[in-house]
Amino acid sequence: MYQSITEEAWGLVHSVATQCSPEHGLGTMSPAAYDTAWVAMTEKKDKNGKYRPLFPEAYDYLKETQAEDGSWAAETSDADGIINTLAALLALKKQERQFELARADNERRCRAAEESLHRMLEGWDLESTDRVGMEVLVPNLLRLLEAEGINFDFPCRKPLMKLNKAKLARLGPVLTSPVQTTLIHTLEAFVGTLDFDKVKQHKMPNGSMLASPSSTAAYLMNSSTWDDEAEAYLRMVYEKQFSMGHRGGFPSAYPSTIFEITWVLETLLESGFDKEDFLLADVRKLTLLLESNIRSHRGIVGWAPGCLPDADDTAKTISVLRMLGFNEKVEPMLKAFEADASFITYRGERNASTSANCNILLCLLRDPEPAKYTQSIVKCVNFLAKSWMSNNGPDKWHTSVQYPMMLIAQAFMLFLKRWGKKELDLEAVPARLVHQDVPRTLLDILSRTMRLQNADGSWESKREVTAYAILTLAPLLGLPWVDFLKPEGIACMYRGKAYLENNRNQWKNAEKLWIEKTVYSSSNLSQAYCLAASKIVVSTSIMPQKIADLFPSQMNKKISKMSGFFANVLPFSQAPKWKLQLSLVQSAQYAAALRGSRYNIFPTIEKANDEKYQEYIPFTWIGCRDFLSTAIPAETLWEMMLVSMFNFQVDAYMETVVWDQFHNRLPKLKAFIRALCSGTPEKRKRTDDHDAGQSPKKVHASNDTVIGTVNGTADSSRASITNGHANGESIQTNGLVNSNASGVPEEASSGSENGTSDDESKRKHGKRDSVMGDSNPPSPMREKSSNCKRNSGVVLEEANGFKRPLAPAQRLIEDLEKGIASAPGTDDGEIEGVLTKFVNYALQHPKVLQSPPSLRTWLAHELETFLLAHITHMEDCANMSESSDVSSGAVTWARPRTTFFKWVRTTSADHTSAPYSFVFYLCLIGEKGQHVFSNVRERYALEDASRHLATMCRQYNDFGSVVRDQEEKNLNSVNFPEFVIGSANTGTEEAREVVEARKKDLLAVAEYERRCLSRVLGELEESLDPAVMEKLKLLIQVTDLYGHIYVARDIGIRRVEESKRSF
C-alpha cells in the first residue's frame, strides 16, 4: 500500500513504463465476450488431422461469464448485450454441433441465450445506437446464426439491414486495397462474403489485424493457408490476459500502448502532479516512445504503434509532449482530421465525437501561440456548444455522460482564459460564443454535476465516474460568477474524494465504461483518474476581468431579488438556496437570448412597458428541470421558452392590434384563423394600398430572421417559417388536415361547448406582473394582460404603479359610444401576415414535421382553438359588462352563455395556451416519426391530462387576479353565478368578504382539478414510456409553478410591497 497519492502516481507511471515492451506493447483493456467468442471458434488441425479449438479456454470463459438470464455483458446497454450474446450464441452452437460432449450443456445455454436475445432485440433502439461497426457486425452475426437454424425477427431489423446494405455498397474494394481503414479492425463482419486471402497485406508486424483479436481470429480461420504470425499474436494476447487474471478472455483491442500512456500522463499532469513526481527514466522512456511514433507517422498517431491514426490519440500525444517540454506541430493533425463543422476521429467517420473535439480543442489551446488557430478553436467550441444544446453531451466512445462533461468543462474554461487574456484573435471569436454559448454550457454542466451526486458522495455509484465529476467541478468552481456556490461546491468535491478514499483498494478494479466494439474497462485509466481526482483542488488564481464582466453586477442584484421571492414558492421552498441561485444564474443566459428573439414574429406594440416575462420564462423551465433533475436536452427547453414568449406576445397582439382592427368584423377574422390552421387559407382580396409582399411595419427583425438564436445557428427550415406566407397564401401542412388518426375530424372544430357556438373561447386580460417587487409574475402558458398602448391612442388606466390598457370589452363599449370604428380593411394584410408566421412557427417546426400525422393534426386543432378562444373571450367580456350583478359587492355574470364547468373546461382552458403547448411539447420530446404514446388509451389519457392541467392553471390564475379583473371589467371564474350558491347573502357582508369567500371556493375547485390530474398521471405512469413520463412531469411542474406563484403573490402582496420599499 502506498503512503501517499504521489507515491501511488509514481508507481502507476513506473508500471506503465515497465509494461511497454518494444515487441508486444501495453494494454489493460478488459476481456469482451464478443471477441472471446470469435477466438473460441478458431480451430486448428491437430497431429491426427482433426480440427480442435485453438483456445478451448475461451469456451470456458464464455460459460463462466454467461448471466442467469442467458445473456452476456448486457448490464451496460442493450447494444452490448445484443452483440456479445449473438457472438457467444454462435460460438456455442458451433461447439454443440462439433463436439457431442458439450451438447447437453450447450443446448440449455443456447435456449437461454435465444430467449434473452428475443427480449433485447424487441426493445432495441437502433436510432440511438452509435457503436463502432454495429451496422456491419450485427447483420453478419444474424446471417451466420440463420445458417445454424436460428432466426430473429424484431422491429428494427429492416432498418438495420437497409443500413447494412448502404454501408457495404460504399465499401467497394476498400478492404482489398493497400489502404488501412477502420474496417480492418472488424474483418469478422465479412465472414462468408470476403476472400480473406486478399486482406493479408493489412496484417501488422505483430501478426494482428489492426490490433483486434476478433478480426485476427476471423482472418486466421478463413484464410486458405494457416498464418503462424496471426496465431502467435493471439497466443501473446492470451498470455497477457492470463497474467492479469482473465484466463481465456480476449479484449476488443491489444495493444493500446499510445492510448493508455497519453491518457494516464495527461490526466495526472493536468490535475496538479508534476513530471518531477515520477521517475525520470520512466518519463524519458515514455516521452521517447510518443515522440518517435508521432514523427514516424508524420505528425499523427493511432492508439498503438502502427495502428490507423486518429484525432483523439494524436491530440493527446501532442498535449502530453507539450506538458513534458516538447513542442510538436499541430498542422498535420488539422490537415488530417478537420471537417467543415467539427473534427472527425477517423477519416470517413459518420458522426463526430464530443470527446475527440474536446481533446483537439485542449491541444490547440495549449499551443504557445493559440491565436494562430483561432478559426479551428472556434469551430470546436461551436460544435461542442451545439452538441450539448441538442443532446446534453453523450459521447460515442464512453457510456457515462460525465466523461464528456469533464472534458467540455476543462476545454471551455481554458478557452475563456485564453480569450480573457487576449491570447486569441478576438475579432475571429463571435461574441455569442463567449457571452452566451460557453457560459450557458458551463453553468449547465456545473448544475447537472452537483445535482447528480449520490448520498454516499459518489456519482453513478462508480469510482471512475466519481473521479470525472470531481475533475469537472474543480475548474468550474473557479468561475467568478459562482462565488455563492463555492462552499457547497467544495463540500461536494470533498464528499466525492471521501468516497474514493473509502474505496481506494478498488481503484485498479475498473468499471466497464469505455466503448470499443463493446464496453470495456482499463485498470490503468481507472487508477489515473482516481489519483487525479484525489490530487486536484479548486484554483485560487484570479480570472481575467473580461470573464467576470460577462455577468455584470446589476444582473446579480436582479438574481438576488428573484431568489428572495422564489425561495418562498413551491417547489423551490423545499430546495437548498444554492440550487435556486444556480438555476437563476443559468436562466440569465437564456433570458438574454430570449430578448434577442422577441421580434422574430410579432412587431413592437407601441410603448409596451412590461417585458419582464422574458426574465421569468427561462427560470420556470431551468428551475423546474433542476429541481426534478429531468434528463432533457437544453434545445427542447429553449424551444418551449420561445413558445412561452410567443404566447405572451400573441395575447398582447390579439387584444390590442387585432381587436382594434377586427372587433366589428369578427366573422372574417375567425374564418381566416380556421383556414390558416387547416392549411388552406384563401388568398386575400386586398382593400388597401399595401404591397402583397410587404413586411409588417413594426417588425424589428427581417423576415429572414431565424427564430431562436440561442445556439447561434441559422436553420434554413426555420427561416422559411419566418418568411411564412405573409399574404395568407396556402401552406403545405404534410397531412395536417386529412389525417384523423387521433380522432379529430378532418375539419377541426374550434372547440364548441356541447352544441353552443364554436367561437366560445375566452380572453383573459390584466395580469402580467413581476415578482421583482414592482409587479406580479407572469404565466407563459396564459398571459392575462398586455400592458401595451393601443395604436389608436386610447387613454390608459393606472394599475399598480404603471400604465395599463383598458380591457378589450370596455374599450369597445367606449369606442361605440363615441362613434369610433376602424375602417374595414386597414392593415389586414399586416395582421394576417403576423398571425401566419405565428401559426407557421408551430405547425412548420422541424420537430413537428417529423412527428406522426395524427399528432400534427391534434396540434393544428388545438392551435386553432387557442386563437379562436381569444375572440370568444372578448365577446364574453362585453356580454358580462351588459348583464352583470354587483348587488353582493362582487361582480356576478347574471346571464352567462354557459355553465362555469363548461366554460372553465373548454373556452377558458383553451385560452390559456396550455392545450396547444402541451401537444407541441409532445412533438418536441418524441423520437423522429414516432408517437410518444402507443395506443388509444394513452392518447385519451394524455388529452385528459392536458385539459385538467389547463383548467387548474386557469383557476389558480383567476385566484390571484380577482380584484384586478373586477377593476378592468375582465371575466373571472368567480364572476359565474355558481359562486353565489351557498352564500348567506345577508346583505351585511363587505365586498372584500364576498370576494375572499369566492376565492376560497375557487381554490377548492382548483385542488379538485389537481386530484383529477394526479389520478390521470398515475394511470399514465403505469403504461407510458418512462423517459416520456419523466419529461411530461417537467411540463406539469412548470405549469403548476405558476399556480403557486399566483397564490404566493395574492397572499403576500403587502409583504412584497414592504420588501420593495426596503430596496
Average pLDDT over residues 859-887: 87
Which helix (H) or strand (E) segment holds residue 797: the answer is strand 797-799
Average pLDDT over residues 1027-1038: 96
Q: What grid cell was written down for 533?
A: 481526482
Find out whether 1011 and 950 touch, Cβ atoms under 8 Å: no
Please tell me the predicted confidence (pLDDT) of residue 986.
53
Please tell me the predicted confidence (pLDDT) of residue 469.
99
Please tell me the predicted confidence (pLDDT) of residue 760.
39
User: Using one digit for the tens of pLDDT, what is the confidence trace for 232-291?
Assistant: 999 999 999 999 999 999 999 999 999 999 999 999 999 999 999 999 999 999 999 999
Please tell me the predicted confidence (pLDDT) of residue 389.
94
DSSP 45: E
Alpha-carbon distance of 216 to 185, in angstroms, equals: 8
Please tell me the predicted confidence (pLDDT) of residue 96.
84
Q: Give the closest residue to 479 by CA, choosing from 414, 386, 565, 528.
A: 414
Q: Give the closest residue to 206 by CA, choosing from 287, 294, 292, 304.
A: 304
Confidence at 695, pLDDT banded by 50, 70, 90: very low
Range from 72-76, 294-298, 803-807, 993-997 carrying the lowest mean pLDDT: 803-807
Express as a percent the part of the chain with pLDDT over 90.
Answer: 62
Confidence at 44, pLDDT banded by 50, 70, 90: very high
Confidence at 936, pLDDT banded by 50, 70, 90: very high
Please tell me the predicted confidence (pLDDT) of residue 1049.
63
Find out whether 579 and 488 touch, Cβ atoms under 8 Å: no
Average pLDDT over residues 899-927: 93
Average pLDDT over residues 126-142: 86
DSSP 885: E
**Cis bond before residue 255 (omega within 30° of 0):** yes
Alpha-carbon distance of 47 to 260, in angstroms, equals: 41
Please say if the pLDDT value at position 704 is more than 60. no
Find out whether 766 and 651 touch, Cβ atoms under 8 Å: no
CA dihedral sign of residues 878, 882, 883, 885: positive
* Helix%, strand%, coil% for the chain, nearest 5: 60, 5, 35
Range from 32-36, 387-391, 1043-1047 carrying the lowest mean pLDDT: 1043-1047
Find out whether 138 and 86 touch, Cβ atoms under 8 Å: yes
* Spacing of C-alpha 481 from chain mean position: 24
Please say if the pLDDT value at position 617 is more than 70. yes
Please tell me the predicted confidence (pLDDT) of residue 984.
59
Q: Where exactly are the structural domains of the chain?
A: 30-243, 257-550, 577-1062
Tell me the H-state helices in 20-77. Answer: 33-40, 56-65
**Cis bond before residue 404 (omega within 30° of 0):** no
Please say if the pLDDT value at position 550 is more than 80. yes
Confidence at 349, pLDDT banded by 50, 70, 90: confident
Please tell me the predicted confidence (pLDDT) of residue 901.
96
Find out whether 917 and 1039 touch, Cβ atoms under 8 Å: no
Please say if the pLDDT value at position 714 is more than 70. no
Mean pLDDT over each residue of the chain, to the nearest integer:
84
Average pLDDT over residues 656-678: 91
Please say if the pLDDT value at position 702 is more than 60. no
Confidence at 1, pLDDT banded by 50, 70, 90: low
Range from 196-205, 471-480, 628-637, 819-828 carrying the lowest mean pLDDT: 819-828
Please tell me the predicted confidence (pLDDT) of residue 690.
36
Please tell me the predicted confidence (pLDDT) of residue 438.
97
Beta bridge partners of 746: none
Q: Which residue has the cell 471512475?
A: 464
Please say if the pLDDT value at position 757 is more than 90. no
596 vs 315, more confident:
315
Confidence at 132, pLDDT banded by 50, 70, 90: confident
Find out whether 654 and 870 touch, Cβ atoms under 8 Å: yes
Look at strands 892-893 and 51-53 and give their pairing. Answer: unpaired
User: Using one digit for the tens of pLDDT, what is the confidence trace for 765-777?
Assistant: 333 333 333 334 4
* CATH class for the region spanning 30-243: mainly alpha
For residue 129, the one-letter residue type is T
Confidence at 128, pLDDT banded by 50, 70, 90: confident
Tell me the H-state helices in 271-401. Answer: 280-296, 311-323, 331-337, 354-365, 374-391
Q: Give the closest residue to 509 by CA, choosing from 784, 795, 245.
A: 245
Q: Which CATH superfamily is domain 257-550 in?
A: Terpene synthase, N-terminal domain (1.50.10.130)
Average pLDDT over residues 435-457: 96
Alpha carbon dihedral 598, 604, 606, 607, in 10-degree steps, equals 20
Confidence at 781, pLDDT banded by 50, 70, 90: very low
* Rama region for 462: left / alpha / beta (φ>0; ψ in -120 to 50; rest): beta
Please say if the pLDDT value at position 479 is more than 50. yes
Q: What grid cell was written down for 899?
A: 355553465
Please tell me the predicted confidence (pLDDT) of residue 147.
94
User: Using one digit for the tens of pLDDT, what is the confidence trace for 413-436?
Assistant: 999 999 999 999 999 999 999 999
Q: What is the pTM of this model?
A: 0.84
Average pLDDT over residues 85-102: 87
Please tell me the predicted confidence (pLDDT) of residue 817.
45
